Amino acid sequence: MLQWERGTVTGQRSSWRGVARLEVELEGDGEVVSALAYTELTGAPGHGESVLVNTNALRRGLGTGGDALLVARRDVLPETEASRGHMVKARYTPMQTMVDAIDDPDGEHYEVIREAQDVDGMPVVVADLHSSLPAIIAGIRAERHGARIAYVHTDGAALPAAYSRTTARLREAGLLTSVISAGQSFGGDLEAITVHSALLGAKHVVDADVAVVIQGPGNLGTGTDWGFSGIEAAESVHAATALGGAPVATLRVSNADPRDRHRGLSHHSATTYGRATLAPVRLPVLSRNDSRYSPFHASVREQVKTSIMDEARGHGTEHLLTEVDAKGLRDALEDIPVRMSTMGRSLGEDPEAFRYAALAGRCAATLAPRR
C-alpha cells in the first residue's frame, strides 16, 4: 500500500541533474521532511506549492530511499514536452513516462542498433552494488586514463537513473561518457529497452571502450540465498557473452561488514557467479605478487575457488581466475571526486570493498583495445 501525505514546499536542498530536492512541511504535525521530485516526471515545484508525497520509505526508516517522493503538484500541472519516441517505461504505473529509446523505430539511433549484431569484444564489468561504480571507474582510469566509459543503469533497484547523485557527479566530472538506462529504468542520457540493446548502444552509439552494468541505488536483500536484486548481474554476464563481449565480474568483498555472510567474499557474489551465471566470466583477485597480499586476500582467493569456480564447474561453466596488481589503485580511488560509501562505510572503513571493485575496473581496461 502507498502512504501518501499532503504538504507544502518550504525550501530547497542540494539538487542535481534530474532531481529537485525539497523541504516539505507536512500537514497535520508540521514535520519538515526531505522530498525528491524527479523533474522529468513532475517538473520542479516552487516555494509555497501544495504537493502530494509518498512517504513509504521515510516512515519505514529505510537507508537508501529514505526520502519522501513527490507524486503530484496539487495546483500546478508541469509543463510537458511531446516525446518523439513511443517507448513507455515504468509501464502501467501511474508515473509511466514516454522515452525516445535507441532501439525505438522512430529514434535517431534505430538504424545503428538494428544493424549491430555484437559488441566486438568490448569489456563489460558487472556488479551487484551501485556503490561499486566509482571504484570500478577509478580502476579503469588507473589503467586507461582517457577511456570512454558507458554506464548501463539496470532496473533491479532505483528505476530513475537521476536518483543516483554519484552518477550525476561522475558525469559532471567527465568520468562517465554516457549513462544508458535499460529495461524499466529511465532518465539516462540514452534509453534502451533491454540490457542487450544498451550494450550495443554503448559500443556503437557511445563508442565506449568499457561498459559497466549495475543496478541503481537501493539493492534489495532478504538474507536468503536467492532473494536479492543484485543477482541480476548474472543476466548481465549472459547478455555480454551473447553479444561477443568480455564480461568481468566485480567481487563483493569486505573486511568490515558485521554480517558473516558478507565477510570476506559475500554470499551474494558466491550465488551470482557460482550458481546463477551460466557463461564464463573473469574473476579479478589481488595478485599474489602484490605487496598488499595478506592472509585476508588468500582467504578471499580460496573462497572464490570453492564458492564460485567449483560451483560453476559443477554445471559446466569454467570461470577464469584473474590476478590483478593493485599498484596505484588507492591513489586512484582517493582521486575520484565523489564520496565513496558502501553500506554506510567509507573507503577508510572498508577499503577492500572498493579495492576489489577497482581490480575489476583495471582488469577490464587491460582488455580494451588501444585506440
Has residue 92 been placed in a domain? no
Asked if 345 and 353 count as a contact pair (C-beta separation under 8 A), the reply is yes
Question: Do residue 45 and residue 180 come from a single domain?
Answer: no
Asked if 352 and 263 count as a contact pair (C-beta separation under 8 A), the reply is no
Q: What pLDDT was estimated at residue 297?
A: 96
Query: How much is the mean pLDDT over the chain?
Result: 94
**Cα–Cα distance measured from residue 102 to residue 114, given in angstroms and rounded to the nearest whole number:** 10
What 3 state SS string does the chain have? CCCEEEEEEEEECCCECCEEEEEEEECCCCCEEEEEEEHHHHCCCCCCCEEEEECHHHHHCCCCCCCEEEEEECCCCCCCCCCCCCEEECCCCCCCEEECECCCCCCCCHHHHHHCCCCCCCEEEECCCHHHHHHHHHHHHHHCCCCCEEEEEECCCCCEHHHCHHHHHHHHCCCCCEEEEECCCECCCEEECCHHHHHHHHHHCCCCCEEEEEECCCCCECCCCCCEHHHHHHHHHHHHHHCCCEEEECCCEECCCCCHHHCEECHHHHHHHHHHCCCCCEEEEECCCCCCCCHHHHHHHHHHHHHHHHHHHHCCCCCEEEEECCCCHHHHHHHCCCCCEECCEECCCCHHHHHHHHHHHHHHHHHCCCC
Q: What pLDDT was estimated at residue 65?
A: 66
The whole-number average pLDDT for the span 18-24 is: 95
The whole-number average pLDDT for the span 77-92 is: 79
Question: Do residue 22 and residue 145 come from a single domain?
Answer: no
> Quick one: pLDDT band at residue 64, thresholds 50, 70, 90?
low
Question: Do residue 191 and residue 269 come from a single domain?
Answer: yes
> Quick one: pLDDT band at residue 369, thresholds 50, 70, 90?
confident
Q: What pLDDT was estimated at residue 82?
A: 62
363 pLDDT exceeds 90? yes
66 pLDDT exceeds 80? no
Quote the number of domains for the chain. 2
Minimal CA–CA distance to 180: which of 100, 248, 249, 119? Answer: 100
The domain containing residue 35 runs over which residues?
Answer: 4-73
Question: Do residue 68 and residue 127 come from a single domain?
Answer: no
Q: What pLDDT was estimated at residue 63?
A: 64
> Quick one: pLDDT band at residue 86, thresholds 50, 70, 90?
confident
Question: Do residue 58 and residue 134 come from a single domain?
Answer: no
Give the CATH number of the domain where residue 231 resides: 3.40.50
11 pLDDT exceeds 90? yes
**pLDDT digit string (tens) for 139-188?**
999 999 999 999 999 999 999 999 999 999 999 999 999 999 999 999 99
Q: What pLDDT was estimated at residue 60?
A: 81
**pLDDT digit string (tens) for 301-353?**
999 999 999 999 999 999 999 999 999 999 999 999 999 998 889 899 999 99
61 pLDDT exceeds 90? no
**pLDDT digit string (tens) for 220-270?**
888 888 999 999 999 999 999 999 999 999 999 999 888 888 889 999 999
Give the CATH number of the domain where residue 64 resides: 2.40.50.220
Asked if 215 and 232 count as a contact pair (C-beta separation under 8 A), the reply is yes
Question: Do residue 14 and residue 157 come from a single domain?
Answer: no
